[in-house]
Structure 1
Amino acid sequence: MIGRDDPHDNIVLTVFVHNTRGGAIASKLIGHFLLKDQEFKFTAIAFGRIGGHNVSLGLSIKAKEKIRKMGLDPDNVQLAVQRKLIEGEVILPEGLKLRE
């Protein structure tokens, strides 16, 4: 619905990508994000070409429970991380570049 506020838009977090591997169609990303001074590790598969950009993000059950105990919906947090990965709002180690 146009004009509707998404619940993950107001989640403040910082995403760090440590490593990428892959090719022209898909890449595996390894990193972490900071949410309320807590660190959460993730792995993700970033898809590029067919159907546009998309990210499949993986969080452990333990991480999802920790997020839930913080009073947040883990699904909304995952969507916020995915959006930052798709839009390139990430911090990379010096010398690491994401493929366009």
Structure 2
Amino acid sequence: SVAADRCGGSTSYATVTKGDDELFRYYMPDEDDKKLVDELTAKYPTAMPYFFTQDPDYITVKERVAKHTVDGLPAEGIATIGIAVETLRVAEYLTPILQEQLK
């Protein structure tokens, strides 16, 4: 089975188990990300720290969208409105199915 816990704040983890045996556990932020979070927290003490764990991803998204704005070419790896709509359709389809399985 797979489970995740956001734990509140900027920490979360996911585990994969088989029976009672834990096969894998991933923490976010990992050790490298924790260093970045500490640096950004010191630099921007009034900002919400949960943004810092995804700071590199935000930078990538902003750069790709800005490039698209300049050259008009598709933004590599960035979801379009069409992809977003289809993703929501999948989520709406799966929600009652998953809710039933969680009972």
The structure that has the greater radius of gyration is 2
TM over 0.5: no
Q: 1 or 2, which has the higher strand percentage? A: 1
* TM-score, length basis structure 1: 0.24
Q: 1 or 2, which has the higher helix percentage? A: 2
* TM-score, length basis structure 2: 0.23
